[in-house]
Each structure stands twice: as structure tokens, then as C-alpha cells.
Amino acid sequence: MDDLKFVQGCLKGDKQSWSEFILRYSRLIYNYIHSVFSVNGRSISPEQVEDIFQEIFHALIKDNYRKLSTYQGRNGCSLASWLRQVTINFTIDYLRKLKPIVSLDVEDEDGFTLGDTLKDLSAGAMEFLNQQDRRKTLQECISLLELDEQYFLELFLNQGLSLEEIKEYLKINRGAVDMRKGRILQKLQDCFKQKGFLG
């Protein structure tokens, strides 16, 4: 049975289809939850995993399976890929309620921090700022980004994923990855400009 027909069975209230859905996709959803926390360098308690898991399933079935009914299988998108994105979004929303997910102080294996990596956004003006001002300004600008943009920075800079790896991880095409990177850098540059650090 293809994914769309399978989902249609769930939407019609077929108990066997829904039981199969839970059996087939529960582990996958749990793994994606853990993956988002791992990419962000966060530990997660079993209670947190269960909270997110229950929230996802509740969202899928509430209002007569409204969320699940949005799956259309377009462009060859599998149900597993669609659920992955749903899970990532819900988990990021959960992280939003905690703390910012991008740390300026976490060093990569070469000893560089996100703050070091982004210094070149304003090389001339930044030379006149002390380290504390740089970090504060950068943190403020990053905090203004959408959470999915902060997540992208985390993957690209702190976790060191290549743009090609990010494409696979987020299940989007390479053009979308490049556009997202460009949009994020432009927002950061605009933020620095508004704060008087770029000419």
C-alpha cells in the first residue's frame, strides 16, 4: 500500500491502519526528536522525549486528523520524510521554550567559536569592538533570527555540516539551502548595520 492510501485509511478511522501507523512510525519519530537535540548539543530526558512525542501525535489526530490530512505525497515526498519535517518543527518549537539553541561560546574541533566564524561580517568596524561587545552584538542579532534559521546556523557552523549534508538532513533541495544561507547572512549583516557596525 502506498503512503497516500495508507494515510487515507487512517483518516477514515480504520483502526488497523492507525495501529500500523503507530507501529511503523513511532520509533522514527523518537529518533528524529533525539536527533534534533543531539545536533543542538542538548541532553534530553525521557520525560521530554515523551512530551514531544505525545504533542506530535496529538497534533496529527486533533480536529479529525487535520494535520495528518495535510500530507499529500507531492514531488515524491514519502510519509517518513514528511513526518521527519513535522517532528523537527515540533522539536524546534519545544527548544524555543527552553533557551536559545545557538551558543557563541561552544568551540568546534579546531577551537573556533560561532563568534569567531562570523567576525568577518564586519571586519573593519569589528576591529574596534572589544570581545565582549562583539559577542553581545552577535548574540542579539542571532536571537532576532527565526528559530529555523538559528537551527541552520547550528548545523552549518557549530556542527560543521556541509551545505550538501544540510540539504540531505533537512530534505530540501540545494537551491533552497543556498537561499536560506544567503538570507541568514543578509539578516545578520542588516542587523549589524542597524547597530552601526557596518558601513
pLDDT score for 118: 56
Nearest partner of 52 among 30, 76, 20, 75, judged by Cα? 30
Give residue for cell 536559545: 100
- Tell me the CATH architecture of domain 3-96: Orthogonal Bundle (1.10)
pLDDT score for 126: 41
Q: What is the DSSP string of 56-80?
A: HHHHHHHHHHTTGGG---GGG--HH
Cα Rg of the chain (Å, integer): 20
Domain boundaries, the chain: 3-96, 114-194
CA distance 198 to 46: 45
pLDDT score for 146: 82
Give residue for cell 527552553: 98
pLDDT tens by residue, 175-185: 888 888 888 88
Share of the chain above pLDDT 90, in %: 2
Share of the chain above pLDDT 70, in %: 77
Which amino acid would we find at residue 139?
Q
The CA-atom distances, in angstroms, between 46 and each of 28, 37, 50, 64 are 16, 12, 6, 28
Q: Is residue 99 predicted with pLDDT exceeding 70?
A: no
**172 confidence band (pLDDT: 50, 70, 90):** confident
What are the φ and ψ backbone dihedral angles of 158, each rounded to 5 degrees? -75, -40
> Which ranges of the chain does DSSP label H, i.e. alpha helix?
3-11, 15-39, 46-65, 79-96, 114-117, 123-126, 131-143, 147-153, 163-170, 174-194
pLDDT tens by residue, 34-91: 888 877 677 788 888 888 899 998 888 888 888 888 988 777 778 888 888 888 888 8
Contacts of 124 (CB under 8 A, 6+ apart): 199
Average pLDDT over residues 18-38: 87
pLDDT score for 130: 47
pLDDT score for 128: 42
What are the φ and ψ backbone dihedral angles of 130, each rounded to 5 degrees? -80, 170
Q: Comparing 3-96 with 114-194, is the CATH topology the same? A: no
For the segment(s) 114-194, the CATH number from 3.50.50.60, 3.90.480.20, 1.10.3720.10, 1.10.10.10 is 1.10.10.10
Give residue for cell 536527533: 35
What are the φ and ψ backbone dihedral angles of 11, each rounded to 5 degrees? -65, -30
